[in-house]
Chain A
Amino acid sequence: MSYLRRLPKFEYLAPRNVTEACEYVAKYGSEAKLLAGGTDLLLIMRRRELVPRYVIGLKNVPELDFIRLNEDGSLVIGAMSTCWAIQRSPIIRQRYGFLAETAADIGSVENLHVSTIGGNLCGGLPCVDLPAPLLTLAAKVKLASTRGERIVPLETFFLGYEKTALAPDEVLSEILVPPEVLKGGGAYIKFHDRHMIDITTTGVGAYLTLASDGQTITDAKIALTTSAPVPLRVKGAETALRGRALTDKLLEEAIELAAQEALPRSSWRSNKEFRLELIRTLVKRALRQAWLRAKEATPPVSSDHWLVHPIYSQIGGMH
């Protein structure tokens, strides 16, 4: 990590709506960079890893800041919705509680107020938290440009480290989450050093759907954070879970499959072996929690509490 300097010079553009934002990126392409919350981009620019000639600020585009439920029960989140808005949203708390919990635990309160879901996805980083729960929910993203709109499954959005399917002339405008299933439950559990502040060492999102008997897993999705160059679905483990009930034996099988599929690297934050151990532990915990929540049918989230902090007593802050 290189020394942080002052921000490089740039020209600031302030579109008032998505159409204008699309026109700017169409005009300036890779010379321009879209600025969402800025918690990451401003630091990247100060390290001179990116020196865009134009910065297109999206903070004052109201069109991108909304959380809405469609008539069919599907959820639409505007790309500039902050993590704060997501964790406070009654719609998300009631239907996708673990997504609200993930957002609440992303950083300090100051950070939650500026960091956005769109910025979290468009950085293309494997260490950010929102992709994993969104992958387990089979979310899609809407990419807008002057050429029109296209909808891409989030799974195919991440192409590599810091690489996404977003073309230089496109703007990620919306995140689409399919309607909640009747007997579904999700969980996201992560390990990180300093609670609320540090980047996730390893995280696991899981979503289980149960048959009407409340036992048989009809669908399972597991996604890992900081375990590969991209946020990663572990499909072998998912397949092993389908059609069976969650027993200790099945859990052991699933965590070994997940560990085999993961491609964690060693970094100063943690070595590969420790990450693999974390993956085993966290996949187990996430599956257990998702299983319990699926059995209870509606994910429990306390709505009267100021902040959701599920990890507080479970893991994290272990020193």
Chain B
Amino acid sequence: MKNRVAVSLKVNGELFELFIPPWQLLLDCLRDDLGLTGAKRCCIEGQCGACTVLIDGMPVNACLYLAIEAQGKEILTIEGFGKNGELHPIQRAFVERGAVQCGFCTPGLVVATKALLDSTPKPSEDDVRIALSGHLCRCGCYGQITDAVLEAAQVMTQKAP
């Protein structure tokens, strides 16, 4: 049984050549091998959404995905949001709407929001609640989070030509 295998992952547009155990979770790989600690290690069983990342544009729990299975796919983590110190409109809306208290659930929520707005640029409040139903916010900011997503949607659709 091989303890380590060669795995190449494309994360936030950058290609990484890794030598990792085949049983390594994508979450552990991102956090421990690549130092991308935005995706949070929390329930580790797909209940809380804190580890959400996008794989080929689809939101998935990185705690229920083997790193080895993410080869050849585009992985986007919260670190891939915002460029040159400038916040992504979703991040800005979260800040402005007070949707962040302790901030632990925020990276997962921002990533899941991007997936929602990519497929549904003008979501209804129900769409938002369903899209984020897999995320727990211990601070209970659900109202502000919903407001922030709706505001981000508005800002982003205005910007688009």
Contacts and interface: CB of A to CB of B under 8 A. Distances in A.
A38 B22 CA distance: 14
Interface in B30-65: 44-47, 49, 52, 55, 58-61, 64-65
Contacts of A38: 64-66
B68 A12 contact: yes
B112 interface: yes
A8 interface: yes
B120 interface: yes
Please classify the interface of chain A as helix (H, G, I), strand (E, B), loop, or mixed, using the class held by over half of its residues: loop
B21 interface: yes
Contact of A11 (B2, B112, B123, B126): B2
Interface residues of B, number: 39
Interface in A84-108: 84, 107-108
B131 A109 contact: yes
B127 A110 contact: no
Contact of A113 (B49, B58, B72): B58
Nearest to A58: B69
Contact of A109 (B1, B3, B59): B59
Classify chain A: how many residues form its interface, as a range: 35 or more
A235 interface: no
B133 interface: yes
A197 B47 contact: yes
A9 B23 contact: yes
B58 A107 contact: no
B69 A84 contact: no
B140 to A, nearest CB: 15
Contact of A306 (B44, B49, B123): B123
B1 A9 contact: yes
A111 interface: yes
A290 B103 CA distance: 45
A113 B112 CA distance: 12
A292 interface: no
B25 to A, nearest CB: 7
A280 B53 CA distance: 41
Contacts of B25: 7, 42
B64 A196 contact: no
Contacts of B44: 4
Contacts of A11: 1-2, 22
Given A108-B133, A110-B52, A39 B64 contact: yes
B96 to A, nearest CB: 24
Most buried by A among B23, B47, B131: B23
A109 B135 CA distance: 10
B130 interface: yes
Interface string B65-97: 110110010000000000000000000000000
Given A8-B23, A108-B134, A113 B60 contact: yes
Contact of A60 (B1, B21, B64, B69): B69
A18 B119 CA distance: 31
A192 interface: no
A307 B23 contact: no
A60 to B, nearest CB: 7
A59 interface: yes
Instruction: List the 6 shortest-distance A-B pairs measured between CB atoms, nearest first.
Output: A108-B134, A12-B22, A196-B133, A7-B23, A113-B58, A110-B61
Given A8-B23, A9-B23, A60-B69, 6 more contacts: A7-B23, A35-B69, A109-B59, A109-B133, A114-B64, A307-B127
